[in-house]
Amino acid sequence: MKEQLEKFADIVEKLHVLYRILISVGIIILCSMAYLFLFIMPEFDEIESLHDKNKNLQNQLINSMRKAQKLEHFEMLTSDAEKKFDMERRVLPESEEIRLLLQNVARLKQESGLTFTLFKPEEEVLKGFYAELPISMKLTGHFHNVGVFFDKISKLSRLVHIDSFRVSSMQSDDDMSLVEVTCTAITYKFIKKKKKVRKKIKNHEKSKIYIHYAGFYGSGLFLLMSRNSSLSGKNSSRNTQSGSAEGRFCCTITT
């Protein structure tokens, strides 16, 4: 190897200066190109790959920002819809508010100077997410007072629809304006959907204990309900005008 290098050096020394310069320049160019392809070009490829990744990330960021803007818009729409739903749901009383609504109707009757001869809530009619609660009513009084009563009914915060409206004149020598009104007042109740909770019990022995405990608890609850129903039956026999059973009542009011 050393001898070959010495021979190559002797050949170069014998060449003209111009050729030696050209050979030196050629060697420098070859070394530079080798360095460029071995070290610089891979860096350019990596830079280009990183540039593409950066561009993709910027596009993803723009899309995410657009989605975030749409999300804020949808959140505002959802909030407005919930507020509107709450405002409209106030028209439909829930189960615990039905009694208060009926008390308001009775109060309006007294304020209008009318006499109820029939006030009977009927069976509720399910209509999907709400239920109709018809109330059969028969009232007597002056024609003007009847108009005042129904005007006050229309101004209640809860929705009350008057159906099957019939007016008949009552024969009275003293006052010819007395009328008897028979109608059905229909109010509405909002029905909440019950959430179903499913529990998985892996241990068979624990499930047996749970079932026995539930049976024991159910028996005690049944006895307690029976006792309460017997007590409520006694109380209802003492006071027939205020009796109620499972949210339904029928009474005849005379004033």
3-state secondary structure of 140: strand
Q: Give the pLDDT confidence score for residue 59 in this predicted structure.
A: 92
Q: What is the pLDDT along the chain (255 residues), one digit of tens a residue?
A: 667 767 767 776 777 677 778 878 888 888 888 888 888 777 777 888 888 999 999 999 998 888 888 888 888 888 888 888 777 666 666 655 667 777 788 788 788 888 888 888 888 888 877 888 888 989 888 888 888 888 888 887 777 888 888 988 876 656 667 888 999 988 887 777 655 444 444 444 444 444 444 443 444 443 344 444 444 444 444 443 333 333 333 333 332
pTM check: above 0.75: no
Q: Give the pLDDT confidence score for residue 90 in this predicted structure.
A: 65
3-state secondary structure of 187: strand
Q: Give the pLDDT confidence score for residue 207 in this predicted structure.
A: 44
User: Given phi > 0 = left and psi -120 to 50 = alpha, else beta, which region is 128?
Assistant: left
Q: Which of 200, 198, 140 is nearest to 172 (CA)?
A: 140
Q: Alpha carbon 49 to chain centroid distance?
A: 47
Q: Which of 157, 144, 158, 149 is nearest to 116 (CA)?
A: 149
**8 Å CB contact between 150 and 139:** no
Q: Which two tokens stand for residue 51?
A: 């540039």
**8 Å CB contact between 167 and 209:** no
